[in-house]
Amino acid sequence: MHRPEDAAPTFSIGTVPIYGDLILAPMAGYSDVPFRLLCREMGSALSYTPCIPDDALAARGHHHERLLDFREEERPVAIQLLAKEEERLVRAAQKALQRRPDILDLNLGCPARRVAGGGRGAALLCNPPLIGRLVSALVKVSAVPVTAKIRLGWDETSRNYLEVARILEESGVSAIAVHGRTRSQAFRGRADWEAIAEVKAAVRVPVFANGDVRTPEDIAAIRRVTGCDAVMIGRGAIGNPWIFQRRALDEVPFEERLAVMERHLRMMVDYYGERLGVILFRKYAVHYVRGLEGASALRPRLVTASAVSQVLEILRGWRADERSAGDGRGTSACAIGTEDDRDVYPTGEGD
């Protein structure tokens, strides 16, 4: 994301200036280096790595080393950690700090069973005093600002988001991201933006609003309701990085959509190699074609492609079909198809 040299920051996270008010959420399996770079170019103001368990950082594994990876052009960058014990968190933080991130973030909101069931992520919302100890320990050893991402509570009977937010601020966090659902909701139901507004009113540090943001109108609405400093967007950005330009997906011209798909594919292949890059790109591809005529027939072909040449052949063939089908319609805004085009979203944290 380019900014004028004399631009003033929108706000700051501790000593880190942030230029912009839209942020790509950390999402397991989705917010990797290529997708983060693409979203940064579109306007995301801050990059988060996917959440990394503290014990995984103690192990020597290629997969977890890759989760720590980021590019200089992504800065500012936050490395997000999962933890449940102070000593392990400190060791994980020390290893993460060797990568020189701009921010360390503690995940207190992941609802995934494998995370919360192990006492990390959203499970910590059941133990606010432990949250305070974890954050205090992290702040003590970190040379960079510490932030946290929370949900509203474990379930509807334990919506303790205000207590947790105050503990976080008292323990030294520099910003708080709030997903407007409880852990038991996962991604069901509507996000409670009014609860996020309560957090914003209760603390002095910046607050990021997260949940049910998929259109430019949603961005304006959540900011109006919550008064938040920034909007964090997860699922709504998959297949629509243009949301960081405050553009609706159905307003993106057909040719532009396919050009970005091809570019994203090449970024994935450059980063992962052809075989893995193509396989991982397929989960983004099915979202990029959302709402386009013929998408239902296109998806099965995209998700079985195994080489760059196959993906490009499918996309370019589709482009040719569109050009010949509608008297130049292929360069206009994408038409909404009539087939069942329900969104399928990831189950990892981030919305």
For residues 22 and 57, give the distance between their C-alpha atoms in angstroms, rounded to a whole number.
29
Please tell me which residue in 110, 126, 228, 334 is annotated as part of the active site: 110
Residue 91 C-alpha from the chain's centroid:
25
How far is the CA of 179 from the CAs of 52, 70, 168, 209, 212, in angstroms? 19, 24, 15, 7, 9
For residues 278 and 7, give the distance between their C-alpha atoms in angstroms, rounded to a whole number.
38
Q: What share of the chain is helix, strand, coil (3-state, %, to 5)?
A: 50, 15, 40
Residue with tokens 């994408």: 334
Check if 110 is active-site: yes
Number of helices and strands in the chain (H, E)? 13, 11
Going by DSSP bridges, is the β-strand pair 22-24/230-233 parallel, antiparallel, or unpaired? parallel
For residues 46 and 24, give the distance between their C-alpha atoms in angstroms, rounded to a whole number.
7
Phi-psi region of 152 (alpha: psi -120 to 50; beta: other; left: phi over 0): alpha
Residue with tokens 């994935």: 268
For residues 42 and 25, give the distance between their C-alpha atoms in angstroms, rounded to a whole number.
14
Cβ neighbourhood burial of 190 (10 Å; 0-12, 13-18, 19+): exposed
261 and 238 Cβ atoms separated by less than 8 Å: no
For residues 237 and 41, give the distance between their C-alpha atoms in angstroms, rounded to a whole number.
13
For residues 93 and 71, give the distance between their C-alpha atoms in angstroms, rounded to a whole number.
19
Q: Any idea which residues carry the catalytic annotation? A: 110
